[in-house]
Amino acid sequence: MIEQLFGSKTRVKLLQLFYGNPNRSFYVREITRKIDEQINSVRRELSNLLNIGIITSDTTNNKLYYEVNQKYEYFDPFTIIFGGGSTKKRTTRKAAATDTVQPGDDNDLKALGHIDLAVYTGQFTRDESTGVDLLLVGDVNMNAVTKYIAELEAKEGKDIRYAVMKLADFTYRQQIKDRFVTQLNTAKKQVLIDEHELLEQ
């Protein structure tokens, strides 16, 4: 039904990709791989979404990247339709909205153990201030984490820098205003899991 309403299967897949991954940037070939559609169709629909203002684009290292425009007037309702989540927790700060979203690999993350906090940043959001691409906080099985990272690297086609810490260590580092945690709070990121609203304190 949504495809009929929006007139294009490719457009719907793009909207699901962008709204399901706020603050993440994608280049064209990465998008075609993720949504499994022809590159010409993807380019045409990206152009349409850019003209409407639903997405924005900019260039880094000679690659053109696209991401959802969080200032678009219908961002909130589109997030509910295509992102599969609520917009209640969205902050208005430009570079560091911290929506809790439920992307496809959320269940895979939960299979690693008890995850209190999982965050994409770094290469995923083109913000290198933290020096990592994925942070996991909780009680996890490190063998399972190693396997998960290897699978994620294969899926994304790049090396993933990651950090793992216990909840007590993370909250202590918050209390002492540790540099890494402070930078994480201000970094552009995509929050996958945040059981205790750690990033809103």
Domain's final residue, options 26, 43, 78: 78
Q: From the DSSP assignment, how many helices (H) and strands (E) are in the chain?
A: 9, 7
What pLDDT tens digit does each residue of the chain (201 aa) get? 566 667 789 999 999 999 999 999 999 999 999 999 999 999 999 999 999 999 999 998 888 999 999 999 999 999 999 986 544 444 333 333 333 333 345 668 888 999 999 999 999 999 999 999 999 999 999 999 999 999 999 988 899 999 999 999 999 999 999 999 999 999 999 999 999 999 864
Domain's final residue, options 78, 102, 122: 78
Is 84 part of a structural domain of the chain?
Answer: no
Domain's final residue, options 52, 78, 104: 78
Tokens of 195: 């059981």
Tokens of 156: 């994304």
Is 9 part of a structural domain of the chain?
Answer: yes
Are 129 and 33 contained in the same domain? no
Are 99 and 131 contained in the same domain? yes
Q: Which domain holds residue 119?
A: 89-200
CA distance linking residue 163 with residue 156, whole number of Å: 18
- Find, among 132, 188, 184, the residue nearest to 201 by Cα: 184
Task: Give residue 88's pLDDT.
Answer: 41
Are 127 and 62 contained in the same domain? no
In total, how many domains does the chain have? 2
| 0.85 surpassed by pTM | no
Task: Give residue 102's pLDDT.
Answer: 35
**C-beta of residue 190 within 8 angstroms of C-beta of residue 119:** yes
The CATH number assigned to the domain holding 38 equals 1.10.10.10
Task: Give residue 2's pLDDT.
Answer: 67
Are 115 and 153 contained in the same domain? yes
Task: Give residue 83's pLDDT.
Answer: 84
Are 193 and 99 contained in the same domain? yes
Is 83 part of a structural domain of the chain?
Answer: no
The most distant pair of C-alpha atoms in the chain lies apart, rounded to whole Å, by: 53
Q: What is the dihedral of CA 120, 124, 129, 132, to 10 degrees?
A: 60
